[in-house]
Amino acid sequence: MVNEQPKSEIESPEARTPMDPRAKKMIVMVFIAFVAIVALLVVAGFFLYSRPQATTFLRDIAVIILAFETLMVIFFLGVMTVLLIYVILTLEREIKP
């Protein structure tokens, strides 16, 4: 037989429990947030498309911010490398085989 479960264990669509009101509210809020973000992106795209000077200015600011973030990441990678070397040397000195 293909279906070996007894009929009492198979749930019919009418037997399903209703969704929790908090879960429904969360789904609605996520959907509204998604629609709002998409609408905001469309409006921002139209604004940037219709004003090339503002687009150029925002692009330049974004490039400067990304360059600064890159410098910060490189700096902190260097700090982490120095700290890792310090930990390795400390372990070599302190742990006796």
Q: Which tokens sit at 77?
A: 């990678």
Helix axes 21-50, 52-94, angle to 10 degrees: 120
DSSP E strands: which ranges in 10-78?
none
| pTM beyond 0.95, yes or no | no
* pLDDT tens-digit readout, 78-90: 999 999 999 999 9
pLDDT band for 71, please (50, 70, 90 cuts).
very high
Q: What is the pLDDT of residues 11-34, one digit of tens each?
A: 565 656 777 888 899 999 999 999
Please determine, for residue 94, whether its predicted confidence score (pLDDT) is greater than 70.
Answer: yes
Mean pLDDT of the chain: 87
